[in-house]
Amino acid sequence: MAEELFPLEIKIEATRQQFPHAPKEQLGKWTIRRWTWYEKQTAFDSASEVIDAKKGLLKTTPANIYLQMLLVSIRETPENWEKTEENVKNLDPDLGTALLNAARQVNGLTEKEKEVFLGLSENEKDTPS
């Protein structure tokens, strides 16, 4: 049942029709794979900045988490596109969103992770009025 909720991989065929503004080298077959426990831990480490080492306080942003998630989860890419941090940052916005949605689906962020890393609030008193 868990595999139905969180498939192990998702394949995306990026075409000019779907992504009319994407550079030619970004069009083609993509495979997004679920990360391992260790890959997830190192991705969160890489996306975090130490604010206070004594208190163990870290700062992270959704953009950094998502960048690391894509770097880990992208497995197959179009032939003329190389997976680098710079290239992931420069993905066509529509294609990048489609790849990120697939990565979020296979990696299944928990509600606690959504709360902590995406700024979601569990109760209204935490949200300024």
pLDDT at residue 3 in the model: 45
**Rounded mean pLDDT, 17-46:** 96
116 has a pLDDT exceeding 80: no
pTM of the full predicted structure?
Answer: 0.77
What are residue 35's phi and psi, to 5 degrees? -80, 160
Cα–Cα dist 69/103, whole Å: 7
Nearest in space to 46 (alpha carbons), one of 32, 35, 55, 34? 35
Q: Where are the alpha helices (DSSP H) in 6-127?
A: 37-47, 62-73, 85-89, 93-107, 111-118
Q: Please write the tens of the pLDDT for every residue from 53-112.
A: 898 888 989 999 999 999 999 999 999 999 999 999 999 999 999 999 999 999 986 666
